[in-house]
Structure 1
Amino acid sequence: MFRSRAKEDAKTDAASEQAESRPLRDPQAPKGRPTPKRSEAEALRKAVAKPATSRKEAAQRAKKARREALDKQRQALLTGDERHLPARDRGPVRRYARDFVDSGWHVAEFFLPIAVLILVMSMIPATTSIALLLWMFVILGIVLDSILMTRRLKKRLKERFPDESLRGSSAYALMRTLQMRRMRLPKPQIKRGEQPR
């Protein structure tokens, strides 16, 4: 009878000593970390949202997520933020190709205004032959400029990114030269005459 009480007393003493030696923690907090701030908990709760209860609700959530992703992508196209750019514009090779094109003047970027001028000139009977001649020079200028630009770009890309895949970078740069500078997306990040980054 006395022995069992002594054993129980020894057990409770040992348990109380262990409890005192452990640091106190919030009973609501998971083991090993402090209670999160209210703002963090709310953000986590929003991130881990309840599953959709109906098809309509799931479609609304998907539509909202798609809209948010497109807004981020549109903003990235204006600012040049790499994280949210479309897949075709991402990566250091594509960024260098964009900067290479944006750093210089190209005949192809003036194609649209010249084409309108040629169209107007071809409607006037006295300037039709001049319009055809101008058309030939513009096409020849675009072809020559494109060939020279792609050669220089490929050479620089091979020097700068020897281990990267350069596939499609020349076509990407050519498509960019066809757009007028202020209409290009992603927006140019360097001025004309600057060295590509």
Structure 2
Amino acid sequence: MFGRKKTLNDELSPQAPPAEERPGAKNRPTPKRRDQEAANRRPLIVADRKAARTQDKEARRRSMAQQRQAMLVGDERYLPARDKGPRRRFIRDAVDARWNLGEFMLPVMLLVLLLSFVKATWALLVVFLLVYGLILVAVIDAALMWRRTKKALVRKFGETGRGDAWYAVMRAFQMRRTRMPKPQVARGEHPA
């Protein structure tokens, strides 16, 4: 009614030539908002829960395998958050470079367990002295180790972080073979 009628000539006229591509431009029309929202829309609850659970399990399994491999080789990218960072690496190396009395606690406790089955009074005295003596000496050793490590940490990084002392002491009380991430330095090879 108000527009002009299309004539045969308008319909046959050639279309406008496609715009030439410009470097740095997106070179396509902007999509409609409703089309973009529809493309991004996902249901809150998936229709096939079994498939979703299987997919989640598989993703978690891959992630854990990657993390375990990183723990074995010391790859910083995939370590858990508690083990990441140069400060934690320094603490691990400082603990792994020395002999710790705490790492002998488990074998001694097994010996104490065997001695506790002996019904002699001398065995009970040995058990008592071994248990409490080793615990006392191991705690003192861990405290001295942390003091030296803390001085080196402050010298190198300017400060210690929250939980660093507990991280060092707990690592010192583990047997060297069972420590994760695996020790990357030999004994006596102290970090610089």
Normalised to the residue count of structure 2, the TM-score between the two structures is 0.72
Aligned residue identity for 1:122: S
CA distance in structure 1 between the partners assigned to 2:157 and 2:50 by the alignment: 48
Distance in 1 (CA, whole Å) between partners of 2:130 and 2:59 is: 50
Displacement of 1:153 in angstroms is: 1.1
Q: Pick from 114, 119, 127: which aligns with 1:120?
A: 114
Structure 2 contact 150–160 (Cα < 8 Å) conserved = no
Superposed CA offset, 1:110-166 (max 9, x none): 00001111222232214221222222320121111011011111111111111x651
What does residue 103 of structure 1 align with? 97
Q: How far does residue 63 in structure 1 lie from its aligned partner after superposition? A: 1.7
The yes-or-no answer on 1:134 pairing with 2:120 is no
CA shift, 1:196, in A, is: 1.8
Measured on the aligned residues, the alpha-carbon RMSD in Å equals 2.8
**1:80 and 2:83 correspond:** no
Q: Which residue of 2 aligns with 1:55?
A: 49
Question: Corresponding residue for 2:188?
Answer: 193
For the residue of structure 2 that corresponds to 1:191, the secondary structure is coil
Specify every segment of 5 or more residues in structure 1 that has no aligned partner in the other structure, as ranges.
1-14, 23-29, 32-50
Give, in angstroms, the shift of residue 167 of structure 1: 1.0
Partner letter of residue 124 of structure 2? T
Higher helix share: 1
User: Share of identical aligned residues, percent?
Assistant: 47
Unaligned stretches of 5+ in structure 2?
Answer: 1-16, 28-41
Cα distance in 1, alignment partners of residues 184 and 156 from structure 2: 19
Q: How many pairs are equivalent?
A: 157
Q: CA deviation at 1:192?
A: 0.2
Q: State whether structure 2 residue 183 is matched by structure 1 residue 171.
A: no
8 A Cα contact 1:80 1:186, kept in partner: yes
Instruction: Please report how far the alpha carbon of residue 195 of structure 1 lies from its aligned counterpart in structure 2 after TM superposition.
Output: 1.7
